[in-house]
Structure 1
Amino acid sequence: MSKKLIFSLVLLASPAIYAEEFTPSDDNEEAPPSPLQTEVEFGYQAHSGNTDSQSLNARVGAEYTEGRHRTNGEWKYYQLYKNGEEDKNQQNYLLQSDYKLGSRTYLYGNYAGFSSRYSSYFEDHTVSGGFGYQLFNTDSLLLEAEIGPGFRYQEPNVDEIDDDEIIFKTQSKKPSCVVILISLGIC
């Protein structure tokens, strides 16, 4: 009977003895960083005086990195009212996916878009893909150069185009021979 009692006590006490072994310590262990990084910005300004103006801007950005793949996207919105009438209304879009080939080289696919009611173009969209190279990469500065073929679509705003501008009043659907993108990011 004493052997059964001792065996039972050991079984009951064993989780308490080994509990410390399974509890993560906060001293040196850190949780791995999340592969998803997000940013949200929102701003509003109102001015009054000789002219009254109100502006609204918003930005949403996200980056997902796992293994050799990196995907990032961004949406920006800006709206401006002057004296009660809308003066600007524009949106910018960016979506890019990269695949690392080496420590500094990568292949990329990119979409960049712009929509506006009051600029020279209602729509301006570019799709490209190609080769990228990280020229400089530190904690505070990222400089990359990218080159590759692409296609660009533009829809001009004929109401905003003057005779002295270099923008033509016909709709442009010409494929670009080479789109050269250089991105500079300061962290």
Structure 2
Amino acid sequence: MKKMLTAMAVVMAAPFAAQAGADFVEGDKTFAGEAELGATLTTGNTETSSVKGRLNMLQELGNWENQYLFEGLYKEDTGEVTAKRYYGGIQGDYKFDDKNYMYITGNYEVDPFTGYDYKAVASAGYGHKFIDSGNMFLSAEIGPGYIYKKLDDEQTAILGYDNEDSVVAHGAMNFTYEFSETSKFTQLFVADYGDSLEGRSESAITANIVGALAMKFAVIVRYNDSPLDDKESTDTETNMTLLYAF
């Protein structure tokens, strides 16, 4: 646990410490972001509610490109909670040139329906932009990392231990294609391979409605090839949300 906390602290501090040393000698400071919100509510014979929120912020500080991502999902069916997931992540990319960069990333996820109280991942490595044209973008990253998972009380009682951790190989791919000035397709793959293989895929189509307001349709798939005994290996999530760019 101490190793994980130390790694996360280094990950979160590195972009700011390095940029402070550089004194912002290159480029201008820029900041942009996207906020998403989707919700459903039914009453009467069936009472259900669900809320999905997401905040994605991007920042340029000289040679650093930083991303801050926060997500939340909550679903309730007839008074029973059927889904609850919270996620926070940060990544700093240090650009060597227009194509090559070093990344440092860390994330923290709470999803009690997986049998874990929380999961934390930290990684650092090399990234490359294969395509960065007017309407298409493709990048990939690879590097070593560390994963720590805290089991909930029920699983701890069954298994006889309360955490799992391992060194992992971390990989990611990010693809964007703009169909027009008002619509685009995005695809994200993230995988961590250590004692088990865990991955996440997010496919999304975004279309502008008016001004900075857009509609987003996304399908998210989470995979774990070694789930706990009473859990599924694959989780899927389909969302329709409103997106506001700022």
- Give the TM-score, by structure 2 length: 0.54
Q: Hey, what does 2:74 align to over in structure 1? A: 79
> Gaps spanning 5+ residues in structure 2: where?
1-27, 177-185, 187-205, 207-246
Amino acid in structure 1 at the alignment position of 2:137: L
Q: Which has the higher contact order (CA 8 A, sep 6+)?
A: 2
Q: Hey, what does 2:150 align to over in structure 1? A: 155
Larger Cα-atom Rg: 1
Which is strand-richer, 1 or 2? 2
Q: How far apart, CA to CA, are the structure 2 residues paired with 1:146 and 1:125?
A: 19
Alpha-carbon distance change, 111 to 169 in structure 1, aligned in 2, over 3 angstroms = farther
**Does 1:133 find its partner at 2:128?**
yes
Task: Write the mapping of 1:143-182 to structure 2, written as runs, cut at 5 A.
Answer: 143-157=138-152, 159=154, 170=161, 171-176=163-168, 178-182=169-173
Q: Hey, what does 1:68 align to over in structure 2? A: 63
Q: Secondary structure at the match of 1:74?
A: strand
Alpha-carbon distance change, 102 to 37 in structure 1, aligned in 2, over 3 angstroms = same
Q: Hey, what does 2:84 align to over in structure 1? A: 89
> What RMSD in Å do the two structures reach over aligned CA positions?
2.7
Aligned length: 149
**Does 1:45 find its partner at 2:22?**
no
- Give the TM-score, by structure 1 length: 0.69
Amino acid in structure 2 at the alignment position of 1:179: H
Q: How far apart, CA to CA, are the structure 2 residues paired with 1:151 and 1:115?
A: 17
Q: How far apart, CA to CA, are the structure 2 residues paired with 1:62 and 1:36?
A: 7
Alpha-carbon distance change, 97 to 89 in structure 1, aligned in 2, over 3 angstroms = same
Amino acid in structure 2 at the alignment position of 1:181: A
How far did residue 135 of structure 1 move?
Answer: 1.9
Q: Hey, what does 1:10 align to over in structure 2? A: none
> Gaps spanning 5+ residues in structure 1: where?
1-32
Q: 8 Å contact 2:29–2:61 — kept in the other structure?
A: no
